[in-house]
């Protein structure tokens, strides 16, 4: 049982972005991928979820023993994979409640009583300090950056995947919001769950402790280590790893 990325090469419009990524996440583990802008981190995250813009030209993505390299995004989601996007889209006309309910029904295959379901997400929203009135608003429309990130973690809590890929969930958060989002991620953690955190900075890793830190540069993982590796990045920057 694992999310196993095997020598994955990714291209966009014929240009190779990643050049042989090997990474395996076991249930119960937290992995962090760090690296400078343009290193291929977000491309990697979107490819794991099956974004059609990105093409795997070599290698395989294996989820709990099943090759999902060519699977559609909804198939990956039903099999237990989740992506928190760096830039969550705004969807006018679709309320937060309806979006979450329909996504939950699609994942579980079970119809939900709207009132019962709203009671469940209301409790989760309170835990993340999201105003319950936001449940009536259109998805991400007019939301601040911090509100969008909290909503991503709310989706994580509601959909309860086996493996969560969190692409720069800390981006644009102030200190208080960072603590709340981190608490939501830590509440999701369990021996049955795997987490891949993609970030530029060490600050979220102060709250969500990784078991393994990977440094990515120019589409390759150039160094791996424990949590102390994130401290080295914080102290010296990425330059020392790029030479």
Q: Residue 163's domain is classified under what CATH number?
A: 3.40.50.300
- Those residues whose C-beta lies under 8 Å from the C-beta of residue 215, and which sit 6 or more positions away, are 34, 35, 221, 222, 223, 224, 229, 233, 238, 241
Summarize pLDDT for 116-161 with one digit per residue, the tens: 999 999 999 988 888 888 899 999 999 888 888 889 999 999 999 9
Which pLDDT score is estimated for 69?
Answer: 96
Q: Look at strands 55-63 and 66-67 and give their pairing.
A: antiparallel
Mean pLDDT of 179-187: 92
Summarize pLDDT for 69-103 with one digit per residue, the tens: 999 999 999 999 999 988 888 999 999 999 999 99
Q: Which residues pair with 83 in a beta bridge?
A: 165
Q: How far is CA 193 from the centre of its chain?
A: 13
Tell me: pLDDT of 240 over 80: no
pLDDT confidence band for 243 (50 / 70 / 90): low
Percent of the chain with pLDDT over 90: 70
Answer left, alpha or beta for residue 20, where phi above 0 means left and psi between -120 and 50 means alpha.
Answer: left
> For the chain, what is the domain count?
1
Q: Which domain holds residue 140?
A: 3-242
Tell me: pLDDT of 217 over 80: yes
Tell me: pLDDT of 60 over 80: yes
Which pLDDT score is estimated for 202?
Answer: 87
Higher pLDDT, 88 or 214: 214
Positive or negative, the CA dihedral 201, 203, 204, 207 is positive
Q: Which residues pair with 32 in a beta bridge?
A: 197, 213
Tell me: pLDDT of 242 over 80: no
- Those residues whose C-beta lies under 8 Å from the C-beta of residue 118, and which sit 6 or more positions away, are 97, 135
Q: What is the pTM of this model?
A: 0.91
C-alpha radius of gyration, the chain, whole number: 18
Map 37-85 to HEC letters.
CCCCHHHHHHHHCCCCCCEEEEEEEEECCEECCCCCHHHHHHCCEEEEC
Percent of the chain with pLDDT over 70: 99
b/e string for 66-88 if b means 16 or more Cβ within 10 A? eebeebeeeebbebbbbbbbbeb
The Cα 114–Cα 120 span in angstroms is 10
Tell me: pLDDT of 208 over 70: yes
- Those residues whose C-beta lies under 8 Å from the C-beta of residue 163, and which sit 6 or more positions away, are 3, 25, 63, 80, 81, 82, 193, 194, 195, 196
């Amino acid at each position: 049982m694992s999310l196993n990325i095997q020598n994955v090469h990714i291209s966009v419009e014929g240009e190779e972005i990643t050049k042989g990524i090997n990474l395996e996440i076991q249930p119960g583990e937290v992995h962090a991928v760090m690296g400078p802008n343009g290193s291929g981190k977000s491309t990697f995250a979107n490819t794991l979820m099956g974004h059609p813009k990105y093409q795997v030209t070599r290698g395989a993505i294996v989820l709990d023993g099943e090759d999902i390299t060519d699977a559609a995004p909804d198939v990956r989601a039903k099999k237990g994979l989740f992506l928190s996007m760096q830039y969550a889209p705004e969807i006018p006309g679709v309320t937060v409640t309806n979006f979450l309910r329909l996504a939950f029904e699609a994942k579980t295959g079970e119809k939900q009583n709207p009132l019962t379901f709203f009671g469940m997400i209301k409790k989760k929203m309170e835990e993340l300090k999201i105003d319950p009135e936001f449940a009536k608003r259109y998805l991400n429309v007019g939301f601040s950056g911090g509100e969008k990130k909290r909503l991503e973690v709310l989706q994580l809590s509601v959909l309860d995947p086996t493996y969560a890929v969190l692409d720069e969930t800390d981006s644009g958060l102030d200190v208080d919001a960072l603590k709340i989002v981190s608490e939501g991620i830590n509440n999701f953690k369990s021996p049955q769950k795997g987490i891949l955190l993609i970030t530029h900075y060490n600050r979220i890793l102060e709250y969500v402790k990784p078991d393994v830190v990977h440094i990515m540069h120019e589409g390759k993982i150039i160094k791996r280590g424990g949590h102390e590796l994130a401290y080295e990045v914080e102290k010296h920057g990425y330059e020392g790893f790029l030479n």
